[in-house]
Structure 1
């Protein structure tokens, strides 16, 4: 304390206990490190942008899988129905190929113009 009082009386500024130049270098280094970490967080591979993109891709794949699962379940039910007996096979042949039995008569009904379903078929 006595030294700083003597320097103040002599017109000199007392020396600081720390080196200001060194603190500036350390502060600049910390800012550079912080900027590098922010770059990795927001822009680089594995950052938030990629995480967001991957989560959206995951959601799209999940929705597509649900649609395919529903379609597969419907197809499996149809296969089980076709395996179970002749009535399912006969019904499929009648609806898809227009097949009729020998003792049946086939009637084709045509819908009036302007309706959505243009060809009604009935086997009897």
Structure 2
């Protein structure tokens, strides 16, 4: 029995000695470093595509500015087109508008009218005021 107790004590002391030694890690540290590096490279690649590459934020910002400029140009052209359309409608609607246009732009006169041409004296010409109509100039 003493031999058996001694054998058990020696086995117990061996187990305790093994418990005091550091256990080997359950994972491979080199493998985790490699995985971490790969993940960081993937993250860097995605960040590059997000901020710099075609279709990224820089291009979206540039395209939105271009869209705003085109919208502003379209609004200006719409206003101009509306004014031109109003003038066309006015010219189509009546003879007086056509007559006024011919008189102011081409200097035409009616039959049995007298035309007097006045020439300004040489020197500085007065600037027209905003209230002046083209016929008064």
1:72 to 1:80, Cα distance in 2 relative to 1, 3 A:
same
Gaps of 5+ in 2: 1-13, 129-133
Q: Which residue of 2 aligns with 1:66?
A: 75
Superposition map of 1:63-102 within 5 A:
63-101=72-110, 102=112
**How high is the TM-score relative to the length of structure 2?**
0.73
Q: Please provide the CA RMSD for this pair.
A: 2.7
Structure number, greater radius of gyration: 2
The gaps in structure 1 that reach 5 residues or longer are: none
Alpha-carbon distance between aligned partners in 1 of 2:114 and 2:58, rounded to the nearest angstrom? 67
Query: Residues of 1 paired with 2:119 and 2:105: CA distance?
Result: 16
97, 116, 132: which one aligns with 1:106: 116
**RCO comparison, higher one (Cα < 8 Å, 6+):** 1
**Runs of 4 or more consecutive aligned structure 1 residues displaced over 6 Å after TM superposition:** none
Q: 1:8 offset after TM fit, Å?
A: 6.6
State the partner residue of 1:116.
127
Aligned to 1:48: 57
Q: Any conservation in 2 of the 1:109–1:121 contact (CA below 8 Å)?
A: no
- Secondary structure of the 2:118 match is strand
Which of the pair is proportionally richer in strand? 1
The alignment covers a number of residue pairs equal to 117
